[in-house]
Amino acid sequence: MKYFLIAGEPSGDQHGSMLMQSILAIDPDAEFRFLGGDLMERVGGKAVIHIRDLAFMGFTQLIIKMLKIRENFHICKQEILAFEPHVVIPIDYGGFNLRLIRWLKARKFRSVYYITPKVWAWMPSRAYKLARYSDRSLCVLPFETEFLEKYGVPCDYVGNPVKEYVLPVRNADPVMIRSALGLNGKPVIALLPGSRRQEIALILPTMVQIIDQFKEFQFVIAGHGNFSESFYREISSQADVRIIHGKTLELLKIATAALVTSGTATLETALLGTPQVVCYKTAPVSYLIARMLIKIKYISLVNLILDRSCIDELIQNRYTIGNLKNSLERILKDTGFRQQIADGYRELNEKLGDTEASATTAAIVCRMAMEP
């Protein structure tokens, strides 16, 4: 059978590669074509469009990149028509995929939307698009099905794929990890400044400015594969910080605490049991537009799933050196607060359940692909 997957961000690339592996376990002769990244390429060949040409940050970036986005749509549609897949699998990336599923429906292509976009956060009316144009929608956050069903969306909760890929590291020996990373015995504070150039440039400088106030710790940046060490050095102004590429989960596993840019990384950090401070900052215009559109109490997946404040969130104007220092000190010095975080993480783990998301999704996708 032929499968066309569409992932537009690093997290989607991660989930897409795991799904492709699970599809192959069911359908060894599966043929893939996809928009994705390096991880998906390791499983199924070269991406039609790589995620480095798909991921844009903020509303102003969308305006600037409008022509490029239009070109990507055209390429994607032409590839689908040429490939004639038995099923198309959009993965998150709502701005792109919610438009595409309408086109797919009009041309009678079957689609299974894996990792439904966060329509509950802003413009909930977009859920009607899922109801009308997607043959099946698969959720990875436990509260999403109840929300989507109100809009008539045929959906299932399939578990969360983050639990799957963090498990090997979660069970690994921290002493061996520290040795493999080449770190000394000094306790570690992990810095996760994001996966996009714009957000790293806005978020990392504040992170590194508190380093001198925590001299008993070594600060280590989790480098993203798309960016060189010199890129991080330039932004961090030669601060006393290590940079380790491609070992984010391992770094989180042995860290005493982490400063984490909002996104999937907040959930990874929680499932590895590392106390964290969530950081987020974007361009002022983008933030003002987001404030008008987004109507949720929290931005981190941890607090959203728990529906309460478990970890500190420092957003936009609250993301300052003073606030970041105070939040980190609270984690390091307040044992009661650390216990509160640990209790929240345990509850989070229970809410996510033990269903293997990739295998469950692959079974649904393959069944649909094989239907006459």
pLDDT given for residue 285 in this prediction: 76
The string of pLDDT tens digits covering residues 167-192 is 999 999 999 999 999 999 899 999 99
Cα–Cα dist 184/187, whole Å: 8
pLDDT given for residue 223 in this prediction: 95
Nearest to 59 by CA among 285, 262, 317: 285
Q: What domains sit in the chain, N to C, each tagged with a CATH number? A: 2-159+355-370 (3.40.50.2000), 171-352 (3.40.50.2000)
pLDDT at residue 60 tops 70: no
pLDDT at residue 62 tops 60: no
What's the 3-state SS for 101-112?
HHHHHHCCCCEE
H/E stretch holding 66 reads: helix 66-83
Question: What's the longest Cα–Cα distance across the chain?
Answer: 65
Identify residue 15 by its one-letter amino acid code: H
The string of pLDDT tens digits covering residues 121-180 is 888 999 999 999 999 999 999 999 999 999 999 999 999 999 999 999 999 999 999 999
pLDDT given for residue 59 in this prediction: 52
pLDDT at residue 220 tops 70: yes
Mean pLDDT, the chain, integer: 93
270 vs 61, which has greater pLDDT? 270
Supply the DSSP string of 274-315, one letter for each residue. --EEEEE---HHHHHHHHHHB--S-SSHHHHHHTS--SEEEE
pLDDT at residue 290 tops 70: no
Q: What percent of the chain has pLDDT over 90?
A: 82
